[in-house]
Amino acid sequence: MNKEEKPCCEDAEGKPDTGWRPSFSIIVGVGWLISIIIFLGFFAYPTELWEKNVAVILLSTLLAFSLLGGVWALWGIKMMPKEGREMFKTSAFKWRVQVSVILPFIAIIFLIIWFWFIAELYSFSVWQSIAIVLVTLLAIGGILGLIWARWGVKHSKEFKKYENNKKE
Protein backbone atom coordinates (compact mmCIF):
# COMPACT_ATOMS: atom_id res chain seq x y z
CA MET A 1 0.00 0.00 0.00
CA ASN A 2 1.54 3.31 -1.01
CA LYS A 3 1.10 6.58 0.86
CA GLU A 4 -1.67 7.77 -1.46
CA GLU A 5 -3.81 4.70 -0.63
CA LYS A 6 -3.43 5.15 3.11
CA PRO A 7 -6.84 4.89 4.84
CA CYS A 8 -8.10 7.70 6.98
CA CYS A 9 -7.24 7.65 10.64
CA GLU A 10 -3.57 6.63 10.28
CA ASP A 11 -0.69 8.63 11.66
CA ALA A 12 2.53 9.44 9.79
CA GLU A 13 4.02 6.02 10.66
CA GLY A 14 0.99 4.16 9.28
CA LYS A 15 -0.32 3.12 12.69
CA PRO A 16 -4.03 3.54 13.44
CA ASP A 17 -4.64 6.99 14.90
CA THR A 18 -7.17 6.72 17.70
CA GLY A 19 -7.21 10.47 18.31
CA TRP A 20 -9.23 11.58 21.28
CA ARG A 21 -10.98 8.23 21.84
CA PRO A 22 -8.62 6.79 24.50
CA SER A 23 -8.90 9.98 26.57
CA PHE A 24 -12.68 9.88 26.20
CA SER A 25 -12.70 6.23 27.28
CA ILE A 26 -10.67 7.00 30.39
CA ILE A 27 -12.91 9.93 31.28
CA VAL A 28 -16.07 7.84 30.84
CA GLY A 29 -14.62 4.88 32.77
CA VAL A 30 -13.33 6.94 35.69
CA GLY A 31 -16.49 9.08 35.67
CA TRP A 32 -18.65 5.96 35.76
CA LEU A 33 -16.65 4.50 38.66
CA ILE A 34 -16.79 7.77 40.63
CA SER A 35 -20.54 8.10 40.05
CA ILE A 36 -21.14 4.52 41.26
CA ILE A 37 -19.06 5.09 44.39
CA ILE A 38 -20.87 8.36 45.16
CA PHE A 39 -24.25 6.77 44.51
CA LEU A 40 -23.57 3.76 46.73
CA GLY A 41 -22.00 5.90 49.45
CA PHE A 42 -24.59 8.68 49.65
CA PHE A 43 -27.72 7.99 47.60
CA ALA A 44 -28.20 4.22 47.64
CA TYR A 45 -31.53 2.75 48.59
CA PRO A 46 -31.78 0.96 51.96
CA THR A 47 -30.50 -2.61 52.17
CA GLU A 48 -33.98 -4.10 51.92
CA LEU A 49 -34.33 -2.40 48.51
CA TRP A 50 -31.04 -3.74 47.13
CA GLU A 51 -32.73 -4.52 43.81
CA LYS A 52 -33.05 -0.81 43.00
CA ASN A 53 -29.33 -0.30 43.63
CA VAL A 54 -28.56 -3.09 41.17
CA ALA A 55 -30.91 -1.50 38.62
CA VAL A 56 -29.17 1.89 38.97
CA ILE A 57 -25.75 0.27 38.50
CA LEU A 58 -27.00 -1.60 35.42
CA LEU A 59 -28.50 1.59 33.99
CA SER A 60 -25.27 3.54 34.48
CA THR A 61 -23.31 0.66 32.92
CA LEU A 62 -25.65 0.66 29.93
CA LEU A 63 -25.11 4.40 29.50
CA ALA A 64 -21.31 4.10 29.73
CA PHE A 65 -21.23 1.17 27.27
CA SER A 66 -23.48 3.08 24.87
CA LEU A 67 -21.16 6.06 24.89
CA LEU A 68 -17.99 4.01 24.49
CA GLY A 69 -19.49 1.53 22.03
CA GLY A 70 -20.74 4.27 19.75
CA VAL A 71 -17.43 6.12 19.71
CA TRP A 72 -15.29 3.03 19.12
CA ALA A 73 -17.69 1.40 16.65
CA LEU A 74 -17.58 4.45 14.39
CA TRP A 75 -13.79 4.40 14.52
CA GLY A 76 -13.74 0.66 13.82
CA ILE A 77 -15.97 1.10 10.79
CA LYS A 78 -13.60 3.76 9.42
CA MET A 79 -10.60 1.48 9.98
CA MET A 80 -12.22 -1.68 8.61
CA PRO A 81 -9.99 -3.45 6.08
CA LYS A 82 -11.20 -4.51 2.65
CA GLU A 83 -11.83 -8.07 3.89
CA GLY A 84 -14.18 -6.75 6.56
CA ARG A 85 -16.14 -4.74 4.04
CA GLU A 86 -16.48 -7.86 1.92
CA MET A 87 -18.09 -9.67 4.87
CA PHE A 88 -20.82 -7.04 5.05
CA LYS A 89 -21.74 -7.91 1.46
CA THR A 90 -22.25 -11.56 2.42
CA SER A 91 -25.86 -12.63 2.72
CA ALA A 92 -27.44 -12.18 6.16
CA PHE A 93 -24.27 -10.80 7.77
CA LYS A 94 -25.66 -7.31 8.46
CA TRP A 95 -28.71 -8.43 10.38
CA ARG A 96 -26.58 -10.80 12.46
CA VAL A 97 -24.31 -7.91 13.43
CA GLN A 98 -27.35 -5.78 14.25
CA VAL A 99 -28.87 -8.54 16.40
CA SER A 100 -25.50 -9.01 18.12
CA VAL A 101 -25.54 -5.34 19.12
CA ILE A 102 -29.23 -4.92 19.94
CA LEU A 103 -29.87 -8.17 21.85
CA PRO A 104 -27.49 -7.44 24.76
CA PHE A 105 -29.04 -3.97 25.12
CA ILE A 106 -32.50 -5.53 25.28
CA ALA A 107 -31.24 -8.01 27.90
CA ILE A 108 -29.76 -5.25 30.07
CA ILE A 109 -32.97 -3.23 29.78
CA PHE A 110 -34.92 -6.36 30.78
CA LEU A 111 -32.65 -6.82 33.82
CA ILE A 112 -33.06 -3.16 34.80
CA ILE A 113 -36.86 -3.57 34.66
CA TRP A 114 -36.55 -6.86 36.55
CA PHE A 115 -34.52 -5.38 39.40
CA TRP A 116 -36.37 -2.04 39.58
CA PHE A 117 -39.96 -3.33 39.44
CA ILE A 118 -40.48 -7.09 39.39
CA ALA A 119 -37.93 -8.45 41.89
CA GLU A 120 -39.05 -6.08 44.62
CA LEU A 121 -42.76 -6.22 43.85
CA TYR A 122 -42.93 -10.00 44.11
CA SER A 123 -40.23 -10.31 46.80
CA PHE A 124 -37.86 -12.52 44.84
CA SER A 125 -34.81 -13.64 46.77
CA VAL A 126 -31.20 -12.86 45.87
CA TRP A 127 -30.80 -16.40 44.54
CA GLN A 128 -33.86 -16.13 42.33
CA SER A 129 -32.57 -12.85 40.93
CA ILE A 130 -29.16 -14.41 40.28
CA ALA A 131 -30.96 -17.24 38.46
CA ILE A 132 -32.76 -14.68 36.27
CA VAL A 133 -29.44 -12.99 35.42
CA LEU A 134 -27.82 -16.34 34.54
CA VAL A 135 -30.79 -17.49 32.44
CA THR A 136 -30.74 -14.15 30.60
CA LEU A 137 -27.01 -14.48 29.87
CA LEU A 138 -27.41 -18.09 28.74
CA ALA A 139 -30.35 -17.17 26.50
CA ILE A 140 -28.34 -14.40 24.84
CA GLY A 141 -25.36 -16.69 24.37
CA GLY A 142 -27.55 -19.43 22.95
CA ILE A 143 -29.36 -17.15 20.51
CA LEU A 144 -26.17 -15.49 19.31
CA GLY A 145 -24.41 -18.83 19.07
CA LEU A 146 -27.20 -20.26 16.95
CA ILE A 147 -27.36 -17.39 14.49
CA TRP A 148 -23.58 -17.11 14.08
CA ALA A 149 -22.81 -20.84 13.98
CA ARG A 150 -25.10 -21.37 11.03
CA TRP A 151 -23.60 -18.39 9.18
CA GLY A 152 -20.06 -19.52 9.96
CA VAL A 153 -20.65 -23.03 8.68
CA LYS A 154 -22.32 -21.74 5.52
CA HIS A 155 -19.71 -19.07 4.66
CA SER A 156 -16.47 -20.42 6.15
CA LYS A 157 -15.04 -21.49 2.79
CA GLU A 158 -15.59 -18.02 1.31
CA PHE A 159 -13.33 -16.43 3.92
CA LYS A 160 -10.53 -19.02 3.97
CA LYS A 161 -8.79 -16.99 1.26
CA TYR A 162 -8.46 -14.03 3.66
CA GLU A 163 -6.78 -16.22 6.28
CA ASN A 164 -4.23 -17.36 3.72
CA ASN A 165 -3.49 -13.73 2.73
CA LYS A 166 -2.77 -12.77 6.35
CA LYS A 167 -0.18 -15.54 6.76
CA GLU A 168 1.86 -14.32 3.79
Which of 15-19, 48-52, 96-100, 151-155 shows the lowest per-residue confidence on average (mean pLDDT)?
15-19
Domain limits, the chain:
3-167
Q: Residue 110: which of 118, 99, 121 has the closest Cα?
A: 118
CB 148 within 8 A of CB 93: no
C-alpha angle 27-115-34 in degrees, rounded to nearest 5: 20
Say whether pLDDT at 139 is over 60: yes
Say whether pLDDT at 166 is over 70: no
pLDDT digits (tens, 9 = 90+) for 25-83: 999 999 999 999 999 999 999 988 899 999 999 999 999 999 999 999 999 888 888 88
